[in-house]
């Protein structure tokens, strides 16, 4: 009986570890309640300076009807207050992000707002430039 309980405990623990690892490797985060196509944009390309910060997550902030992207929130890891970011949709002109807001010891959140809202259904690529 003890051996069966121990084996069952090991299996449960291994399952929890696998769930945690898969959650930690998610690259992008999306607005709560997002559904296809909002969570399946074709590509996200990241350009950064050598030894610069890394992109931790991308959050597309949608309008109430969930048809247009009003802004993008980027989370940069290993960042400093001097880092800057910009975003472009569908290889179009880039738009600058506001100043980063410190959210952790070396993590900053940047909000990037395009001049006009981007139709969510028409988004095929997002380019992020970090410097």
pTM over 0.75: no
Write out pLDDT tens, residues 82-130: 999 999 999 999 999 999 999 999 899 999 999 999 998 888 888 999 8
Encode pLDDT of 13-29 as tens digits: 444 333 333 333 333 43
Average pLDDT of the chain, as a whole number: 74
Task: Label residue 53 exposed, middle or buried (CB < 10 Å: 0-12, 13-18, 19+).
Answer: buried
Which two structure tokens, joined as six digits, stand for 73?
């929130």
């Amino acid at each position: 009986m003890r051996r069966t309980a121990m084996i069952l405990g090991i299996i449960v623990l291994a399952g929890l570890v696998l769930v945690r690892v898969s959650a930690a490797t998610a690259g992008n985060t999306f607005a709560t309640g997002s559904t296809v196509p909002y969570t399946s944009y074709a590509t996200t390309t990241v350009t950064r300076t050598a030894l610069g910060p890394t992109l931790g997550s991308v959050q597309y902030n949608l309008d109430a009807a969930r048809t247009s992207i009003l802004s993008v929130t980027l989370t940069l890891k290993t960042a400093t207050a001097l880092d800057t970011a910009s975003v472009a949709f569908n290889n179009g002109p880039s738009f600058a992000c506001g100043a980063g807001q410190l959210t952790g010891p070396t993590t900053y959140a940047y909000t990037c707002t395009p001049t006009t809202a981007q139709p969510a259904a028409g988004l095929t690529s997002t380019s992020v430039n970090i410097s």
